[in-house]
Structure 1
Amino acid sequence: MTEDLREGPLTPVTQAAPAQRQKPSSKELRRQRRRRRRRGEEILAWVLVPLICFGLYWSVTAGFEFMGTSPGQVWDQLMQVKAMMEKRRA
Structure 2
Amino acid sequence: MTEDWREGPLNPVPLAPQAQPQKPTGRELRRQRRRRRRRAEEILAWVLVPLICLGIYWGIAAGFEFMGSSPGQVWDQLMQVKAMMEKRNKT
What's the TM-score, normalizing by structure 1? 0.78
Q: What fraction of aligned residue pairs are identical, expressed as a percent?
A: 78
Any runs of at least 4 consecutive aligned residues in structure 1 with deviations exceeding 2 A, and if so which?
Answer: 14-19
Asked whether 1:75 is paired with 2:75, we answer: yes
**Number of residue pairs the alignment of both structures matches:** 77
Asked whether 1:64 is paired with 2:59, we answer: no
Paired amino acid for 2:56: L
Partner of 1:32: 32
Deviation string, structure 1 residues 17-46 (Cα, Å, up to 9, x no partner): 664221111111111011001000000001
| SS at 1:21 equivalent | coil
Q: Give, in whole Å, the separation in 1 of the partners of 2:55 and 2:16.
A: 59
Q: Give, in whole Å, the separation in 2 of the partners of 1:89 and 1:64.
A: 31
Unaligned ranges ≥5, structure 1: 1-13
Paired amino acid for 2:46: W
Paired amino acid for 1:21: P
Unaligned ranges ≥5, structure 2: 1-13
Aligned Cα root-mean-square deviation (Å): 1.7
Q: Give, in whole Å, the separation in 2 of the partners of 1:76 and 1:58.
A: 22
Partner of 2:87: 87
